[in-house]
Amino acid sequence: MFSCPSCRYTCTQIKTLGKHIFGHTGSSRITKCPMCDICINNKDKMKRHFYIHTGERPFACAKCDYKSSRKDKLNNHMMSIHSVNTATGDKLFICTKCEYKSLRRDKMKRHMLTSTHSLTDEKPFVCTECDYKSSRKGWLKDHMRGHSDERPFKCHLCEIRFVTRYDIISHMLVHI
């Protein structure tokens, strides 16, 4: 049996006692837990605190047998173990070659294509002028400009022209 410290009320469940106690105090005043010395000023926090005493874990994972007394802990579990964002239900895409993670498939695809570990080791795009090979058509196109006089990127400060956007961006640092 659980007894209210403010009146003669008794009950068999600690959750029921918690609700009763907040009937006396309201949610704006500090209330001492009847089971321990902790003082809490919020009804929801007191309810969450009671789970420590009851051992109740009402937040259960739908994918495994994990249970928690706190919803935020379940959300962390879902993200770290099952790679699911509980707010949106979206699956997290995780790079198998590094620590990169994304909730968007297109961002993961871009990461794989632009990082040092592309989606494939195949390099089907071959330069006809030298032995350069690329996994991306755009990279071969940039490379081919190096064999020609084509320089589409022009510095607006000094009029020098460049083969790739990356080259002009690197060049702009000399003007800083």
Q: What is the pLDDT of residues 70-129, one digit of tens each?
A: 888 888 888 777 777 666 666 777 777 777 777 777 777 777 777 666 555 678 889 999
Residue 152 has pLDDT above 60, yes or no: yes
142: left (phi over 0), alpha (psi -120 to 50) or beta: alpha
Q: What is the pLDDT of residue 74?
A: 87
Q: What is the pLDDT of residue 121?
A: 65
Would you place residue 164 in the very low, low, confident or very high pLDDT band (cuts 50, 70, 90)?
confident
Kindly list the domain boundaries of the chain, sorted by start residue.
Answer: 2-54, 57-87, 94-119, 125-175
Residue 27 has pLDDT above 60, yes or no: no
Fold for the domain defined by 2-54: Double Stranded RNA Binding Domain (3.30.160)
Would you place residue 130 in the very low, low, confident or very high pLDDT band (cuts 50, 70, 90)?
very high
Paired tokens of 14: 């600690």
Q: Give, in order, the Cα–Cα distances in Å from 13 to each of 10, 31, 132, 169.
A: 9, 18, 75, 68
Maximal CA-CA distance, the chain: 94
How far is 93 from 42, CA to CA, in rounded Å? 38
Q: What is the pLDDT of residue 25?
A: 59
How far is 45 from 56, CA to CA, in rounded Å? 15
Residue 137 has pLDDT above 80, yes or no: yes
Q: What is the pLDDT of residue 40?
A: 78
What is the rounded average pLDDT for all residues in the chain?
A: 79
pTM of the model: 0.40
Q: What is the pLDDT of residue 50?
A: 80
Class of domain 125-175: alpha beta
How far is 117 from 140, CA to CA, in rounded Å? 17
